[in-house]
Amino acid sequence: MIIMKGNNNLYVIVVVILITLSCCTEKKSSTKVKDKLPSFDHDLSYIPYDTQQDNPTYIICDSTNFHSGRNRVQYIGGNKKLKEDITLRYNFRSQYESFNGYIVVLFLVNCNGQRGRFRTQSLNLDFTPSKSPDDLENYVKGIIKTLDNWKWSTYHENGMEYSKFVNLKFRNGQIEYVIL
């Protein structure tokens, strides 16, 4: 038994971290899985077609094999350039001033590198679902749709389906952070 003077919370935190690390270490296999990108169940990334909001000419090549990840679809110039491009297009309106929270924009990139099936969700600062001012979600979605500086990954010269999230943090109706 270890006897510690002072803060027992630090001891508990260290023990939890050590247990977590020991449980999460992965043994390296002697057989190498060659050139395999991780894929995820399509229910996590796939956005079903909606006749009310989606372009009928936007085609998904393989709806059962979506990929996700921060590095799969990137904005050329990174977060700084993305925030700059979004804020240049964003016109603050007084009805947005009461909004503090996040708007998450999800979209798909098909095997040809085309973007489509944009969806949005508003969240409070504690990440619980919320309602944003009347047209803010659609306004932000429209801004994201206009951005063309996306670079998407290919795998052995083959295009793949990807999902992408862009998170916008608002404080008093102003964009505070853009997170990819």
Say if residue 17's pLDDT is above 90.
no
Tell me if 115 is assigned to some domain.
yes
More confident residue, 79 or 46: 79
Looking at residue 4, its pLDDT comes to 45
176 with 169: CB under 8 angstroms?
A: yes
**Chain centre distance of CA 24:** 24
DSSP 64: T
Tell me if 16 is assigned to some domain.
no
Tell me if 8 is assigned to some domain.
no
Domain range for 127: 40-48+58-179
Say if residue 175's pLDDT is above 90.
yes
Tell me if 10 is assigned to some domain.
no
Domains in the chain: how many in total? 1
Q: What is the mean pLDDT of residues 119-131?
A: 94
The one-letter code for the residue type at 93 is R
In this prediction, residue 63 has a pLDDT band, given cuts at 50, 70 and 90, of confident
Q: What is the pTM of this model?
A: 0.70
Tell me if 140 is assigned to some domain.
yes
Tell me if 88 is assigned to some domain.
yes
Q: Token digits for 76?
A: 């050329």
> Could you tell me which of 162, 180, 167 has the C-alpha nearest to residue 72?
162
CB atoms inside a 10 Å sphere around CB 102: 20
